Structure 1
Amino acid sequence: MAILTGASRSGTGTGADHGGRARSPKRRASKYNKREAIAGYLFISPWIVGFLVFTLGAMLYSLYISFSNYNLATNSASPAGFDNYAQLFQDPKVALSLSNTLFYAIMAVPLEIVFALLLALLLNWVGRAAGAFRTLYYLPKMTPAVATASIFLLLLNGNTGAINRFLAIFGIQGPQWLIDPNWVKPSIVLMTLWGVSGTMVIFLAALKNVPRDLYEVASLDGAGPIRQFFTITIPMISPAIFFNVVVLTIAALQVFDQAYLLFWRDQTNASPDSSLFYGVYLFQQAFRQFNFGFAAAMAWLLFVIILLITLGQVKVSNRLVYYEGDK
């Protein structure tokens, strides 16, 4: 009797359920995973709340505003239907600013990729001193945009700028970077290349992960540095190239601060047509003319354009990007 009583007591311990049966490892693992998941969601809950309120909530509210005539002074909105979206196709400045932005993106993104990759290759080749050079190259990325714009206003001055003075040493007459419509976009590209170090760091990390054995085998087969670069380096870092292309394209289509600080800050822009970017015109509509409904429609048009371009890039990447797990 005592033995049975002891056995029944032992069946009510931590290792058994109410029926006296031992808990299965799967049940214990499931309970642990549930607690771990709850803890994880609690840790990321500030980000979730911030995303729902400041990103998703703001997007949905802007979508609502885009179908209305929103008055900031009275904080009221009257229904406008699709008038704001119809105006997108009637306003010539929308097409002008969009074409300027697309032209800038086509010019800036390839140059940023090439320049950042060259810097990453140099740092990867340097070896021990790469840390010091990496820090020096990354410093421009930390410079405030206003300070950078002030520097480039001095560098790109057509009469007294340092760039034109340097070109004059070789007998080359520099252009009027900030006045000539043909040189407005290249001047913004130069300012953009100043902060290319973030892309460079991503490329450098990708280069560090390329197996050295591949280069050794290629050398034994007689492949030179150029052949190795195009047959080994480029395919192995193609995921990093694809990532940077997508990110830089999105950033280029949303360009604002470079154009605004160089050409629109003091309201004395000498070439308004060539420097009117989509983000600048959207800013003017929203915060100068207080046409928030039309500005919201412009923002959603840009969102759709970026989405379509990104989907196209993803579609192309399925054939061009190499992943080690692919067979």
Structure 2
Amino acid sequence: MPRLSAGTEPRASMSRDLDSVEVFDGICFPGYLHSPESLQAACAFQFQDTDVLLATFPKSGTTWMQQILSLIFCEGDLRPIHHCPSWARMPWLEHISFQGFLAQMDPARPRLLTTHLQARALAPALKKSNARVVYVARHPKDVLVSFYHFHRMASFLPDPSSFQDFVDKFLEGKGFYNSWFDHVKEWLSLLQDLNMLFVTYEELHQEPRRALRKLSEFLGRPLGVQEEDLILGHSSFSFMRQSRAANYSLVPREIMDPARSPFLRKGVVGDWQEHFTPEQNEKFNAVYQAKMSDCSVCLPWSMD
């Protein structure tokens, strides 16, 4: 996430305060990573038919899918996987750093891009192209828990006063990036309008080879069994947790402090059960039912 040049040691930005906030289209973004100009440029971005865009709400498996997509398109060259950080391989459209990373991309190869923006910001531009969109969603309670711990370690996000307070803000859509519920519903409502594939964190975790084949077919990149094995090995939690190009250990501690919480913390399904009280769970389920009853897609997870 922090603004870095590929292949160089990261440096903290001196141009924007770590605790600044950028509000765009009513949504709060970390000002350290975003500016009015970068957000407006993302909305006006001209997609090419060969582009691949990964769209997620934060903490939904973004880094994991960046690793998988990078491996699918690496054509056997693992040097970028080992030496180029994930945020440079698949930069965020809306980040201040984006244009610098875009200029470094090989024009002869598909551009791999990432966004946390709501669908309404990018849908007009995406509808003008045949760019492929991979949308990854995760059980919202696990998203909440992972986002809570990320707030604890990232200096450009406010430190949560308590887990209860974080739950309340998440359910009200008042935190950074606003509403998980709206984000998921907006993107899934476009499944028929865009060249788009929906993948869940849970299927990546439970049936990784099947999920990989689903991705490779959608992307038009057929894989042999040996290639699948290589991708699955280099996108495993154990590999990524040790990889400096994936685990964000290149980022200075004053920006992201792994002593407070590792960036790649557990990589499991159902960790929310270790955090939620029965009362929090009951409240969450009631809000989920109210907000997701009109979702265009039947989501595959149980709320209990």
TM-score of Structure 1 vs Structure 2, range by shorter chain: under 0.3
TM-score, reference length from structure 1: 0.21
Greater helix share, structure number: 1
| Structure 1 or 2: more strand by fraction | 2
Q: Give the TM-score normalised by structure 2.
A: 0.22
